[in-house]
């Protein structure tokens, strides 16, 4: 069974940037908007610090500067701003603006994950899955995949299914594996579709029916919690 690839290296989270900059970024007002944002960031506003960090990371409205991005992400992260904690972990993961440091990346991913940030939860799970920055621990991987999967995150649902299919960190359980694959497949995840198709011949008709019932229950629970 195949896992889906971690999003750890796919990009920074940009939550809240658009509403934050909607007014300042009107035509002809870029400089004024950035000045206002910087002032709020310097006064300690976490969302402004995060947004300024993202601008430096992407070179939007300011010269691209990873060290400045790290500076502002760190300020927001130290105030407990979960998306900034994720982004700071990402910078350590990639060695952008700071030396690459798996342990430090895990530290900040964990802080964001503990606040319910699904991106961070699935990456933290992958760190435990692969033993990057932490000792390899399948049970911890399952824990964090489950946290993200129960928020409807398809990548985590697929990888949790793999853990059940292989008996890694949990007892082997094809019904639960199929149920999680089924949820991710419904979101169009190709790996989940392939894994479900590969698992089906190993299961009885009764097991498949049970798995479908379980995935329906999980789907309802996830949607109710959103």
pTM of this structure: 0.85
- The residues, ordered by sequence, that sit 6+ positions from 209 with a Cβ below 8 Å of its Cβ are none
Residue pLDDT tens, the chain, 226 long:
656 655 434 456 654 333 333 333 333 344 678 889 999 999 999 999 999 999 999 998 899 999 999 999 999 999 999 999 999 999 999 999 999 999 999 999 999 999 999 999 999 999 999 999 999 999 999 999 999 999 999 999 999 999 999 999 999 999 999 999 999 999 999 999 999 999 999 999 999 999 999 999 999 999 987 6
86 and 17 fall within a common domain: yes
93 and 169 fall within a common domain: no
101 and 16 fall within a common domain: yes
93 and 173 fall within a common domain: no
Interatomic CA distance for residues 124 and 143, integer angstroms: 10
Answer whether residue 105 is part of any domain: yes
Answer whether residue 171 is part of any domain: yes
Cβ atoms of 185 and 155 within 8 Å: the answer is no
Domain count, the chain: 2
Among 83, 116, 149, the domain boundary falls at 116
Interatomic CA distance for residues 200 and 187, integer angstroms: 19
Provide the residue range defining the domain that includes 52. 1-116
13 and 91 fall within a common domain: yes
């Amino acid at each position: 069974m195949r896992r889906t690839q971690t999003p750890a290296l796919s990009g920074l989270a940009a939550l809240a940037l658009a509403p934050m900059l909607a007014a300042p970024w009107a035509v002809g007002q870029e400089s004024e908007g950035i000045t206002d944002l910087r002032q709020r960031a310097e006064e300690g506003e976490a969302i402004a610090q995060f947004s300024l960090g993202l601008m430096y990371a992407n070179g939007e409205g300011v010269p691209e500067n990873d060290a400045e991005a790290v500076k502002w992400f760190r300020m927001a992260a130290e105030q407990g701003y979960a998306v900034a904690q994720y982004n700071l972990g990402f910078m350590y993961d990639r060695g952008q603006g700071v030396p690459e440091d798996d342990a430090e990346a895990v530290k900040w991913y964990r802080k964001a994950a503990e606040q319910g940030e699904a991106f961070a939860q699935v990456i933290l799970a992958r760190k435990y899955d692969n033993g990057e920055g932490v000792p390899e621990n399948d049970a911890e991987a399952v824990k964090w995949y489950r946290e993200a999967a129960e928020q409807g995150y398809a990548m985590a649902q697929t990888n949790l299914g793999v853990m059940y299919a292989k008996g890694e960190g949990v007892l082997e359980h094809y019904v639960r594996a199929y149920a999680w694959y089924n949820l991710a497949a419904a979101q169009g995840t190709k790996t989940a579709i392939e894994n479900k198709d590969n698992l089906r011949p190993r299961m009885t008709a009764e097991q498949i029916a049970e798995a479908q019932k379980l995935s329906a229950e999980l789907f309802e629970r996830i949607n109710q919690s959103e």
